[in-house]
Amino acid sequence: MEPEFLKRKMEIILREKIRDAVKALYNSHVADELIQLQETRKDFKGDFTLVVFPLLRFSKNTPEQTGETIGNYLVGNYNVIAGYNVIKGFLNLEIADSWWLEYFGKTAILKNQLGNCKVASPQTILVEYSSPNTNKPLHLGHIRNNLLGFSLYRILSICGHNVIKTNIVNDRGIHICKSMLAWQKFGNGETPETTGIKGDHLVGKYYVLFEKEYKTQIEDLVRCGIDENEARNSAPMMKEAREMLLKWEAGDTEVVELWKRMNSWVYAGFDETYKKLGVDFDKIYYESQTYKHGKKIVQEALEKNVLYSNEDSSIWADLTADGLDQKLLLRSDGTAVYMTQDLGTAVDRYNEYRFHKNIYVVGNEQNYHFHVLKALLKKMGYPWHDGLYHFSYGMVELPEGKMKSREGSVVDADDLIVEMIETAREVSLELGKLSDFTPEEKEEIFRKIGLGALKYFILKVDPKKNMTFNPVESIDFNGNTGPFIQYTYARIKSVFRKAEETGLNEKPGLLADVKAGEKEIVLIKLIRKFPERVSEAAEGYSPALVANYCYELAREYNQFYHDYSILGENDESVRNLRLALSRVTGEILNTGMWMLGIEMPERM
């Protein structure tokens, strides 16, 4: 066995051997780009596939004959290549089981696996996620947002980047004033303490009340013969809300104090939800602060003639040269828009962190907004504008009638979390699991299963795609679900508890010259792919790659567990191999699910 095959990636060594084969067979030097090597597709036998077509210029022969000739040469000269087959113009190469075993014995330790994920040039990366408004609770869309952002942070961090988790709280604007005004009018001084209602839910209640009263006023005006658009602008509730916004921006003491009070209720509610979800932040920005810097940036750009002012004193940017449109940055009354605060926040963040990348985890309905933000920063002369990246994800919905909602079609995050834990309880009890656990242990496991199901079901989907979340389907213990992977991990932990009890513990160093079965080799091959999948997830900003890898590994382990005895195996070296495979599989599943923010129960 050639030691170089254990020191470097198999793909690199295969390229060298293929280059040697072309030299020996056809007396020709082949450029790297002509050696097209990839993993063999699952429906064909082999580990790596060489695309033969680019090499026909050297062989002067058919694709099939060229593949046969190169395959014969490789098998005859390198014992690590055990066999081959040719399908049309594709040469499928099989790596010897002995190499996989030696690879596993010498390099498949978790810390080495993760070491292969480390990037050569770490970057400072800001990941912004959550971005709630302080006029309503977090909802299902926020759940996907938070889970994607937090998982992305962990994946990028494990690859060696310096990642800062950030949140921008949209705590100012007309929507905030709507809740404040409705509470003034209809609240009778009630608070979270006097009502027992969670703070963000209480404020959200008054946002709904505002909209209800506003709609009634519009209908009354329309009945009086006023045009609907005019009615929307002249309705008393809207006029009062706009006046309140102007007072807030002017620093009116009474309005500012009410704003602080109601926002404090919302922050306490948000913190409770974040804790339930298991997400957090390193730095929280507030629009009420960053919009001021944004206004200053806009005014300075206007003075430099980068922007222009309309007759009504509103300030605009002309982005038509970038294929965009005219963008409002300050209204005629001097109040700011979302883009104003985004400008201020971006500049504040760069000044504070000198980031290489600022990743915005925001739904795909805001694609245009972020095109405009980058174009504006470029127009204003900020050279780091290219470091802004919009992590655009699809919408998430629930099947009709599956969940209750506090506000129209919006699915409340707190309600969903409670429902997931309750569903986990019902499914677990129905299956007869956890019968020997204490009530406290059961509740903790129900929580881990429920949240694991929620997180995995959302994160296994390509972020770019829209998705439908089905609570019951997500807790299936036999499908592509979080509980299935959690149960596999608990099964592995159970194997090692029994090994401890019987004295059949794993003994390091007993993996040489073992006769491995097919399922064992399959597991080793999958284990080898772990760092590649993590790297791909980091490069492509896709937690789904980690999630689906964990499922694939868990599924293969369960087939291995079903087909082979572990502790009942009499051959000590074989038993030791199976214990080592179980240990490494468990470590990888635990680490992979950690990247998704999912806790793994030791027992289920």
Domain boundaries, the chain: 4-95, 171-278, 413-595
Tell me what the mean pLDDT of segment 477-492 comes to: 94
pLDDT at 403: 38
pLDDT of 171 higher than 90: yes
Q: What are phi and psi of 8, to 5 degrees?
A: -130, 165
CB 162 within 8 A of CB 125: yes
Contacts of 170 (CB under 8 A, 6+ apart): 131, 132, 133, 134, 176, 287, 338, 341
- What does the DSSP 8-state code read for residue 198? -
What residues pair up with 528 in beta bridges, in sequence order?
A: none
Pairing state of beta strands 357-363 and 326-330? unpaired
Residues whose CB falls within 8 Å of the CB of residue 332, separated by 6 or more in sequence, listed in order: 310, 312, 313, 314
The pLDDT score that the predictor gives to residue 235 is: 95
The mean pLDDT value for 399-413 works out to 56
DSSP string, 365-380: GGHHHHHHHHHHHHHT
Q: How far apart are CA 448 and CA 482, in angstroms?
A: 10
- Mean pLDDT along residues 583-601: 96
Which amino acid makes up residue 132? Answer: P
Contacts of 4 (CB under 8 A, 6+ apart): 13
Determine the average pLDDT of the residues in 416-430.
90
Nearest CA to 160 among 106, 208, 116, 226?
A: 116
In CATH, 413-595 is 1.50.10.20: no
Alpha-carbon distance values, 562 to 54, 301, 332, 604 (Å): 44, 68, 71, 18
Answer yes or no: are the C-beta atoms of 49 and 91 closer than 8 Å: yes
Beta strand 315-318 pairing with 326-330: antiparallel
360-386 b/e with 16+ CB inside 10 Å = b? bbbbeebeeebebbbbbbbbbebebbe
| More confident call, 590 vs 107 | 590
Q: Are the C-beta atoms of residues 496 and 583 closer than 8 Å to each other?
A: yes
Q: How far apart are the first and last CA of the chain?
A: 43
Specify the pLDDT at position 404: 40
Q: Is 475 exposed, middle or buried (0-12, 13-18, 19+ CB in 10 A)?
A: buried
Q: Which two tokens stand for residue 435?
A: 């019968």
The pLDDT score that the predictor gives to residue 7 is 42
Averaged pLDDT, 360-372: 96
Confidence bin at 110 (pLDDT 50/70/90): low
Summarize the confidence of residues 171-193 as an average pLDDT. Answer: 95
Average pLDDT score over the chain: 91
Share of the chain above pLDDT 90, in %: 78
CA gap 135, 262 in Å, rounded: 9
Q: Identify the band that residue 366 occupies on the pLDDT scale cut at 50, 70 and 90.
A: very high
When pLDDT is cut at 50, 70 and 90, the band that residue 113 belongs to is low
Provide the H-helix boundaries in 431-475.
Answer: 439-459, 471-474
C-alpha torsion 71→75→81→83, nearest 10:
70
Cross-strand bridge partners of residue 122: none
Beta strands in 250-397 (DSSP E): 283-286, 308-309, 315-318, 326-330, 357-363, 388-393, 396-397
pLDDT in tens, 15-73: 999 999 999 999 999 999 999 999 999 889 999 999 999 999 999 999 999 999 999 99
- Angstrom distance (rounded) from CA 350 to CA 447: 39
pLDDT at 431: 78
Per-residue model confidence as pLDDT tens digits over 221-273 = 999 999 999 999 999 999 999 999 999 989 999 999 999 999 999 999 999 99
Query: Does residue 401 surpass a pLDDT of 50?
Result: no
Q: Using CA atoms, how far apart are residues 360 and 130, in angstroms rounded to an integer?
A: 10
Say how far apart CA 473 and CA 419 lie, in whole Å: 13
**Mean pLDDT, range 415-427, rounded to an integer:** 91
CA distance 137 to 269: 8
- Structure confidence at residue 473 as a pLDDT band (50, 70, 90): confident
Q: What is the DSSP letter of 336?
A: B
Instruction: Check pLDDT > 80 for residue 283.
Output: yes
Reported pTM? 0.91
Q: Which amino acid is at 287?
A: E
Rounded to whole angstroms, how far apart are CA atoms 586 and 495? Answer: 11
Mean pLDDT on 364-393: 96
Q: How confident is the model over 502-512, as pLDDT tens digits?
A: 998 887 765 66
Burial category of 567 from C-beta neighbours within 10 Å (exposed 0-12, middle 13-18, buried 19 and up): middle
Q: How far apart are CA 375 and CA 506, in angstroms?
A: 59
Residue 112 confidence (pLDDT):
61
- Closest among 519, 409, 390 to 463, alpha carbons compared: 390
Q: Which fold has domain 4-95?
A: Gyrase A; domain 2 (3.30.1360)
Q: Per-residue pLDDT averaged across 532-551, rounded?
A: 96
Report residue 153 as tokens. 């942070």
Output 249 or 342, whichever has higher pLDDT: 342
pLDDT at residue 470 in the model: 83
Q: How far apart are alpha carbons 471 and 149 in whole angstroms?
A: 21
How many CB atoms neighbour CB 500 within 10 A?
10
Asked if 523 and 557 touch (Cβ cutoff 8 Å), the reply is yes
Which secondary structure element, helix H or strand E, spans residue 82, and what is its range? strand 81-87
Helix (H) or strand (E) run with residue 124 in it: strand 124-128
The two tokens of residue 360 are 């915005």
